[in-house]
Structure 1
Amino acid sequence: MEEPEAHQFFINLIPFWIIILVISAGVILLTRKFRQGLSKQRLEKEVLKNRYQQELLRTSIDIQEKERKRIAHDLHDELGARLSMALMRLKQHPDPTPITPEQTAEILEQLEDQLELALQATKRISYELMPPQLVNLGLYQALKVRTEDARKAGNLMVNMKKTGDPDTMPWPMQLAMYRILSELLNNTLKHAEATEVSIELVVDKGHLLCLYCDNGKGMSDEIKGAGLGLQSLEGRASALNGTLEYGNVHDGGFWAEISLPT
């Protein structure tokens, strides 16, 4: 009797083993599908990341090209034009041509005016290429001068503080941070309707960090799409392997965080 009972016992177990096999197969298939989905998500995320980096690279190149075009335009249309006018004025009276003292005084006065305008154009172009405050004072004090200009221009109270010495960081980092913060201040003055701005600079483990906040109206969805030049600022940060993140403060206002590594 024992053999038939044992045989019947194993027969009764067959449905159970079938269920186990079905469940195991289902678990294996679900696991494989989950892994495939996870791999697809990672791949899509990597593709988006690469596209974003390529876009930042294009933006960085565009910034450089626009800067070169602007400099060339300023040199040609302002400095070149003033010098050309001065030269033409000189050529109107070659040496053999007799002129009166009054005419000489008039020519010299006109030349002086043109050369003065050329000098002003040279100073302006030089200032835009290399801000003298940054060269002479260092990053922190140069930003204090810039924030004082913003206060006078828009009745804007700017609070600044620092941890560490940002003036010890490499020159390209100081220049990039100065350019980025200057543009953020301009955006606040033009668009935010803010009354206060806070800027915190931190030097930490070879990184130059900055947290920028204002108490304005923040960015609308339309403004976010337009970017307000923020993509160009991202390009500046990206050119130094840095990052620029930004958004709206939950209770109103705008924030940006800049990180530049050495």
Structure 2
Amino acid sequence: MTDHHLAGVGASAALGASRMRFRTWPVVAVALLGLLGLIVASILAVQRKADIAYAHLDNLNARYREVETRLRRVRADLHLSGILARDYLLDTTTPAADYRSRLVAYRTESDRMLSELEPLLRHSDPTRFDKLRHELNEYWRSYAPLFDGMTVVVDRYGFLRREIVPRRDAVMNISAEIEELNNENLHAQQQAAAERQRELHQYLTSTLAASLALGLAVAIIAVIRIRVLEGRSEQQHSRTQQAEQELRRLSNQLVRTQEEERKNLSRELHDELGQMLTALRMEIGRAERAQAIGSPAFSATMNESKSLVDRMMRMVRDLAMGLRPSMLDDLGLEPALAWQAREFSRRYNVPVDLAVDGDLEKLPDPQRTCVYRVVQEALTNCAKHSAATEIEVKVVRGRTLLDVSVRDNGVGMASTTGHRGLGLTGIKERVKDINGSTSIQTKPGGGTVVHITLPVPAADSSKENLVANSAR
């Protein structure tokens, strides 16, 4: 029985260990990997957004510088052309062709700058750009009469004031408007860049908050799980210590019980069987003496000897039946239970009502032995503790289950959880060993009911008889 209890404790410990071996590390690993992935993704996303923002700012600054530089060159060409026209009017020695070639160079440079400005300004303000191109072309064409036969100085100065200066001023105004537009575009783009920077800050803030939340969740889960595991470990350690103490106590009690059983058996053999053997030897001696002298007491002595032999046979049979009833194997479970009920009633003068429902002949040997021992132990407990006057034993065979109950009207018990004896523990362990269940209902003054339920295999009992007799 101690081995069964040890197996039960081992199974309980294995169950607790399996619960404690719940795979926590994959959850924590996935959470940590998710946190790491979120951080890496956040860094890459921030880097990408920052690169886009910086590239946009660089493009914006480069465009602004390019527009500003080309407008400045155009304005410079206009100023240089005006200076060239003034020098031409004041200089009467230098041929006009030299001034014309220099003016053409200025115009060529201005047209080149205008061509470079076109992709920069065409999409933003095509109207002003077309107007700038038109005014520039008119400005450069207005110089043609100055070099084509206009000889009177007064006419030249008047032409310069009437034709060239207004057109130059118009071009300068358009250039200023374009520069103002460029500044406006720069300001708008700077605002857009600031908005992107705010979005980047918001993204950083949300990513940091998500990372912190995930990290906090992982930390909380890990701490809670560690606390749970520590609690389970402490509980398991406490249960293990209690199981060890219980095993040690039960082992010591089992040794004492075995010694007590051996002492009782030795007492029975010595006091009863030994005295009967001594009396038989004395009767045989009397018979020998009576036979020697031819006394008529020989026949009475032999009858007394036969009576002693019968008593010894009954005693040996009772001892054997107490250890392992042969009728359980020869006649079956129901006759063995009936004999046990009669013997208990005869010995303790307490009536036992046995009720059997169903066929018990084809039960496997483990189930038959278990039922017999459970009823035997329950009756023994009734005799020792309950002070009952009536006992009812009921055995019901179902298709897949076997129900056994032993009910008495004794004094009952306050609780079964604190019971420290081998009786009820042996019943529970024996039933548990063949996958059965045990329930004990009791209360002070209300009697006790021991109820067990055993599974009944579908196989034929002839096959089950080949099972080892370890349950005996």
Q: Kindly indicate whether residue 2 of structure 2 is the aligned counterpart of residue 2 of structure 1.
A: no
SS of the equivalent of 1:197 reads: strand
SS of the equivalent of 2:355 reads: strand
Shift of 1:150: 6.9
Give the aligned partner of residue 160 of structure 1: 355
1:59–1:232 CA contact under 8 A, matched in 2? no
Shift of 1:77: 3.3
SS of the equivalent of 1:118 reads: helix
Q: Kindly indicate whether residue 221 of structure 2 is the aligned counterpart of residue 16 of structure 1.
A: no
Identity of paired residues, percent? 21
Shift of 1:67: 4.8
Q: Kindly indicate whether residue 337 of structure 2 is the aligned counterpart of residue 143 of structure 1.
A: yes
Counterpart of 1:184 in structure 2: which amino acid? A
Counterpart of 2:280 in structure 1: which amino acid? A
Counterpart of 1:248 in structure 2: which amino acid? Q
After superposition, give the CA deviation of every residue in 1:67-106 in whole Å (9 maximum; x if it has no partner): 55544443343223322343356568988x9646167567
Q: Kindly indicate whether residue 206 of structure 2 is the aligned counterpart of residue 32 of structure 1.
A: no
Give the structure-2-normalised TM-score. 0.41
Give the aligned partner of residue 175 of structure 2: none
Give the aligned partner of residue 118 of structure 1: 312
2:437–2:453 CA contact under 8 A, matched in 1? yes
Aligned counterparts of 1:131 and 1:82: Cα–Cα separation in 2: 23
Shift of 1:226: 5.3
Give the aligned partner of residue 257 of structure 1: 451
SS of the equivalent of 2:392 reads: strand
Aligned counterparts of 2:335 and 2:244: Cα–Cα separation in 1: 38
Q: Kindly indicate whether residue 245 of structure 2 is the aligned counterpart of residue 77 of structure 1.
A: no
Aligned counterparts of 2:226 and 2:249: Cα–Cα separation in 1: 34
Q: Kindly indicate whether residue 292 of structure 2 is the aligned counterpart of residue 101 of structure 1.
A: no
Aligned counterparts of 1:98 and 1:242: Cα–Cα separation in 2: 67
Q: Kindly indicate whether residue 388 of structure 2 is the aligned counterpart of residue 197 of structure 1.
A: no
The verdict on how the C-alpha distance between 1:73 and 1:151 changes in structure 2, with shifts beyond 3 A counting, is closer
Q: 2:368 aligns with which of 158, 166, 174?
A: 174
Aligned counterparts of 2:389 and 2:417: Cα–Cα separation in 1: 16
The verdict on how the C-alpha distance between 1:198 and 1:82 changes in structure 2, with shifts beyond 3 A counting, is closer
Q: Per residue, is there more helix in 1 or in 2?
A: 2
Q: Kindly indicate whether residue 448 of structure 2 is the aligned counterpart of residue 225 of structure 1.
A: no
Shift of 1:155: 5.5
Runs of 5+ unmatched residues, structure 2? 1-193, 456-463, 465-472
After superposition, give the CA deviation of every residue in 1:27-58 in whole Å (9 maximum; x if it has no partner): 22212332443455456556766776787777
SS of the equivalent of 2:419 reads: helix
Q: 1:245 aligns with which of 419, 425, 438?
A: 438
The verdict on how the C-alpha distance between 1:45 and 1:16 changes in structure 2, with shifts beyond 3 A counting, is same
1:211–1:256 CA contact under 8 A, matched in 2? yes
SS of the equivalent of 1:166 reads: coil
The verdict on how the C-alpha distance between 1:87 and 1:151 changes in structure 2, with shifts beyond 3 A counting, is closer
What RMSD in Å do the two structures reach over aligned CA positions?
4.8
1:248–1:255 CA contact under 8 A, matched in 2? yes
Counterpart of 1:219 in structure 2: which amino acid? M
Give the aligned partner of residue 377 of structure 2: 183
Give the structure-1-normalised TM-score. 0.64
Counterpart of 2:202 in structure 1: which amino acid? F
After superposition, give the CA deviation of every residue in 1:222-257 in whole Å (9 maximum; x if it has no partner): 99535483334446556x656563422589543323
1:192–1:218 CA contact under 8 A, matched in 2? no
Name the stretch that deviates more: 77-86 or 3-12: 3-12
Aligned counterparts of 1:143 and 1:15: Cα–Cα separation in 2: 78
1:59–1:235 CA contact under 8 A, matched in 2? no
1:241–1:260 CA contact under 8 A, matched in 2? yes
Larger relative contact order (Cα-Cα within 8 Å, sequence gap ≥ 6): 1
Aligned counterparts of 2:273 and 2:393: Cα–Cα separation in 1: 38
SS of the equivalent of 2:413 reads: coil
Runs of 5+ unmatched residues, structure 1? none
SS of the equivalent of 1:248 reads: strand
1:197–1:212 CA contact under 8 A, matched in 2? yes
The verdict on how the C-alpha distance between 1:259 and 1:43 changes in structure 2, with shifts beyond 3 A counting, is farther
The verdict on how the C-alpha distance between 1:35 and 1:8 changes in structure 2, with shifts beyond 3 A counting, is same
How many residue pairs align between the two structures? 257
Aligned counterparts of 1:154 and 1:57: Cα–Cα separation in 2: 32
Shift of 1:191: 1.3
